[in-house]
A and B are shown apart, each in its own frame.
Chain A
């Protein structure tokens, strides 16, 4: 072979190769670091912000809706209801009529006035689609609404429903869209024309699936944001989010589950960033099914509570980042400061309870038996959820020590819930709903018969006092007397604790990680909100 010629042929190919390399390298001017623009904060979220419709759910994201739309009343620290768009309100003695006095200085972002007529229009739009909001008891309780005068609005309920104000604080569906945003037929659930709200931010640029830019609403009635702009980038992957954060492409990571606990610890340990955790937002729990298999027996459920080494999970799976929980709701939630005796980690006590329940150790066998049947429990978890998987393995190991065989069933999310809603499990991971839903919405839902949709209801079916407890839940929601309410909640929560149908593991928290030039990152009482209004950048 004529090597020289070959060589020259090969040499001719080199430019091609270089071209490829050049193509890869030509554009290495990185346009990044959004901080170079003054007062802009770049944030990231795992999904697109959605269509910013205040009255609907998916694909809307809570935090984005909360940036643009506001509620009549606000959910303050510890669940205290505070004035917001309504500066004050009066509740009739029978608890059925609410008269809201609206603030008079409020303008929508398009300059139109916020008044009782537009409030009613929004209520009507939501009530016109009441079926979709059936889960929210307030919607079912509203009998009528009326415009009293320009700045007074009345809401009349069928019964005295105490959480009415709490449910008005929710990010959706009872927040207010400006007149010009309504479609011609008024049916907002079919879509809106424009996202016009009274909130501190206005959507100014939107690239679906990529990014959204919010600009400060200069007509905002409250404390104006310090930032000019908030850019929200869609980054689905947690690890990529961490790298983007390190590369200063985003300034703030805020929320629950956006990055792994490993990543949080890693970023915190570098010492280069600010990293903080919020107060408990919701509780991670394992539900013990009182209506199936061995967990029908209270003693078995109690044995599981004692056999599980919670602290080990906190230390090794959560790196101490989540606080151990002993009750279904954190005591900082309304009516949840109930004094119950926690089930401490005590293997001997667990063994004793199992023996009392008739599950005996069999020589030569690893697991206990009763009437010749081995003690087996099915624990469902979502296969892609690393935390559930890790905790499931600990539970399996801990319960093996007392002679219980835990079978782990990991499924893809949809299939997982399908199995769960059919009640085919003894143990199931779940979590409480957090503020402002806990405790009243969560408790309310557990009392509703819905074989297909509510594992709380399912797992309680085997409780002897289930019916009685559901009646108490019905009463607590309609009670007008604070003391009665408190007593009923104490009763319900104590029963649930004593019946050991919930194994609380830890309190989830929001994580905030940000660069040192960012300040004012506070945690909000509603965990789904991000405190853009108080944030500043240097």
Chain B
């Protein structure tokens, strides 16, 4: 198992290298340039001279390869450079916004698990019951409703109409409820359906039949055996979900004024703040790789067959 983890971790390096090269090139292929964006956003007329000055100041006058090597050389030493806009070290910026996103994601993950797992199990066990139908409706609604609209509906009902929760901002636990619920909602729908299908498949496996023959208690069969098997596809999807939540919470962060990484990233993107964009993507790439690694480890824990295969 340890060898497996080490092997996977060592793969992180070429992957991150690939990501860094790709982002570096892609962002530079995008139209618009940071010097001009900076000047315009500062209400400074972007004259030729001003743009040239700014390019020199930002180091954008050097050849692309030199820029890349410079940047990479610093990144290896964990120096991500300074943001063009705020002039602050990018690392400090990332560490300022990342905890907020992490908090939001963790809460959303907890909500997703706590809500979708019971509903998924119930609707599998009571297939075609009233409960199953209701959960199906909920799933379809949740999966098809755009996040921003859902967010506004939540704000409208819970804050304006019922006056229970604050609309925007971060601070108390109350501030966390609506954004995390909005973020989790679509995933809850997905996982409910996923788990239901997976449970139903496994409920008809021979091992369930033999377990019953062995006289095992039904809750042991469901809880320990069927659920464990049924969770496999869910865990696979979960790796991606956590990555998605951590990196793609932009809409939720934006409407709920949540000071997270997604908002920071998108504003950097529109300012063509290259150091920030590159570092964010690198971080996000790293997160995805780590999440997938965790999924693989989780797999091994859930299903010994996979573990054995990995060790052979």
Chain B's closest residue to A47 (CB) is B267
Which of B86, B152, B160, B272 lies in contact with A239, CB distance below 8 A? B152
Instruction: Assess whether B150 is interfacial by the CB under 8 Å rule.
Output: no
Instruction: Assess whether A517 is interfacial by the CB under 8 Å rule.
Output: no
Among the stretches B73-81, B114-122, B284-292, the one at the interface with A is: B114-122
- Nearest chain A CB to B32 CB, angstrom units: 3
- Contact across chains for A233 and B257 when beta carbons are under 8 A apart: yes
Instruction: Assess whether B167 is interfacial by the CB under 8 Å rule.
Output: yes
Instruction: Assess whether A223 is interfacial by the CB under 8 Å rule.
Output: no
Instruction: Assess whether B293 is interfacial by the CB under 8 Å rule.
Output: no
- Nearest chain B CB to A3 CB, angstrom units: 9
Asked whether A27 and B172 contact (CB < 8 A) given A237-B254, A415-B30, the answer is: yes
Bound complex: CA A122 to CA B268 (Å): 30
- Contact across chains for A17 and B53 when beta carbons are under 8 A apart: no
Which of A9, A415, A452 lies in contact with B31, CB distance below 8 A? A415
Bound complex: CA A485 to CA B240 (Å): 66
- Contact across chains for A414 and B125 when beta carbons are under 8 A apart: no
Instruction: Assess whether B155 is interfacial by the CB under 8 Å rule.
Output: yes
- Nearest chain B CB to A234 CB, angstrom units: 6
Instruction: Assess whether B63 is interfacial by the CB under 8 Å rule.
Output: no
- Contact across chains for B169 and A30 when beta carbons are under 8 A apart: no
Instruction: Assess whether B309 is interfacial by the CB under 8 Å rule.
Output: no
Asked whether A453 and B48 contact (CB < 8 A) given A28-B174, A58-B42, A415-B31, the answer is: yes
Instruction: Assess whether A81 is interfacial by the CB under 8 Å rule.
Output: no
- Nearest chain B CB to A457 CB, angstrom units: 9
- Contact across chains for A247 and B166 when beta carbons are under 8 A apart: yes
Bound complex: CA A16 to CA B112 (Å): 12
- Contact across chains for B122 and A13 when beta carbons are under 8 A apart: yes
Chain A's closest residue to B272 (CB) is A414
Chain B residues with Cβ below 8 Å from A13 are 117-118, 121-122
The contact size tier of chain A is 35 or more
Q: Tell me the residues in window 443-463 of chain A with beta carbons closer than 8 Å to chain B beta carbons.
A: 445, 448-454
- Contact across chains for A235 and B42 when beta carbons are under 8 A apart: no
Instruction: Assess whether A240 is interfacial by the CB under 8 Å rule.
Output: yes
Q: Mark B79-102, 1 if CB is under 8 A from A, else 0.
A: 000000111000000001100000
Central interface residue in A234, A448, A452, by most chain B CB within 10 Å: A452
Instruction: Assess whether A418 is interfacial by the CB under 8 Å rule.
Output: yes
- Nearest chain A CB to B144 CB, angstrom units: 21
Bound complex: CA A513 to CA B166 (Å): 20
Bound complex: CA A29 to CA B163 (Å): 10
Q: Tell me the residues in window 10-58 of chain B with beta carbons closer than 8 Å to chain A beta carbons.
A: 30-33, 36-51, 53
Among the stretches B1-9, B214-222, B228-236, B294-302, the one at the interface with A is: B214-222
Instruction: Assess whether A269 is interfacial by the CB under 8 Å rule.
Output: no
Q: Mark A403-444, 1 if CB is under 8 A from B, else 0.
A: 000000001111101110100000000000100000000000
Bound complex: CA A419 to CA B270 (Å): 16
Bound complex: CA A382 to CA B92 (Å): 32
Chain B residues with Cβ below 8 Å from A247 are 155, 159-160, 163, 166-167
Chain A residues with Cβ below 8 Å from B64 are none
Chain B's closest residue to A453 (CB) is B46
Among the stretches A174-182, A204-212, A320-328, the one at the interface with B is: A204-212
- Nearest chain B CB to A525 CB, angstrom units: 17
Chain A residues with Cβ below 8 Å from B46 are 421, 450, 452-454
Chain B residues with Cβ below 8 Å from A17 are 114-115, 118-119
Instruction: Assess whether A150 is interfacial by the CB under 8 Å rule.
Output: no
Bound complex: CA A243 to CA B160 (Å): 7
Instruction: Assess whether B282 is interfacial by the CB under 8 Å rule.
Output: no
Chain A residues with Cβ below 8 Å from B193 are none
- Contact across chains for B45 and A58 when beta carbons are under 8 A apart: no
Central interface residue in A2, A19, A239, A453, by most chain B CB within 10 Å: A453
- Contact across chains for B118 and A16 when beta carbons are under 8 A apart: yes
Asked whether A417 and B32 contact (CB < 8 A) given A59-B86, A240-B167, the answer is: yes
- Contact across chains for A27 and B166 when beta carbons are under 8 A apart: no
Chain A residues with Cβ below 8 Å from B159 are 243, 247
- Nearest chain A CB to B106 CB, angstrom units: 12
Bound complex: CA A454 to CA B96 (Å): 36
- Nearest chain A CB to B225 CB, angstrom units: 13
- Nearest chain A CB to B82 CB, angstrom units: 11
Which of A24, A26, A210, A454 lies in contact with B170, CB distance below 8 A? A210
* Given A9-B223, A17-B118, A418-B36, 6 new contacts (CB under 8 A): A27-B173, A30-B166, A51-B87, A209-B264, A243-B168, A249-B169
Subset of 11 A-B contacts with CB under 8 Å: A9-B223, A24-B111, A30-B163, A190-B87, A235-B169, A240-B155, A243-B152, A247-B159, A413-B270, A414-B270, A450-B48
Closest 6 CB pairs of A and B: A414-B32, A57-B42, A20-B114, A453-B46, A209-B259, A27-B173
